[in-house]
Amino acid sequence: MNLFNSPSVGFEAPFDMLQACHERVERMLALLERLAAYLADHLADPTAQQAAHDVMRYFDMAAPHHHEDEERHVLPRLRQTGHAALADRLAQDHQRMTTAWAALRVQLVDLQAGIKPATDTWPAFVALYRAHIALEEGEAFVLGAQGLNAADLAHMGQEMESRRRG
């Protein structure tokens, strides 16, 4: 499975990049849902272990960068433009997602070790992420991008890219 196969979007369009990240998150959430369904009828076999590895790889590596991008660039912008309540809600979501991921990750580590986990908490993790994405794409990114010029966007994209390279 190629985790990074998404529309060709670069850091020169940072809000498009953030949305492309959401597409990858959605693919990982769908994989997590398929994995839970699979585990209903199967043991912690190599197929399940590989799916767990793929989900962990994304949420361990890419998701923290994505949240940091939003916290450095989108949330401050929302606060500056009078949308502090929205920024606070998104920051709280990030904290809840980080906590939920830590618990889910333990289960996926067990799965990789051949221990079949309970999956009853997984739908709440998926729902939390999906609601967060809907709020960002429906409101936060639109509001956060308002009034930014090409130089602002270029600086934002360069900073996002340099953090990943550094």
- The domains located in the chain, with CATH, are 14-165 (1.20.120.520)
Per-residue pLDDT at 37: 98
pLDDT confidence bin for 2, thresholds 50/70/90: very low
User: Which DSSP string corresponds to the chain?
Assistant: --TT------TTSHHHHHHHHHHHHHHHHHHHHHHHHHHHHS-S-HHHHHHHHHHHHIIIIIHHHHHHHIIIIIHHHHHHTT-HHHHHHHHHHHHHHHHHHHHHHHHHHHHHTTPPPP-TTHHHHHHHHHHHHHHIIIIIHHHHHTT--HHHHHHHHHHHHHHHH-
Percent of the chain at pLDDT > 70 equals: 95
Per-residue pLDDT at 53: 98
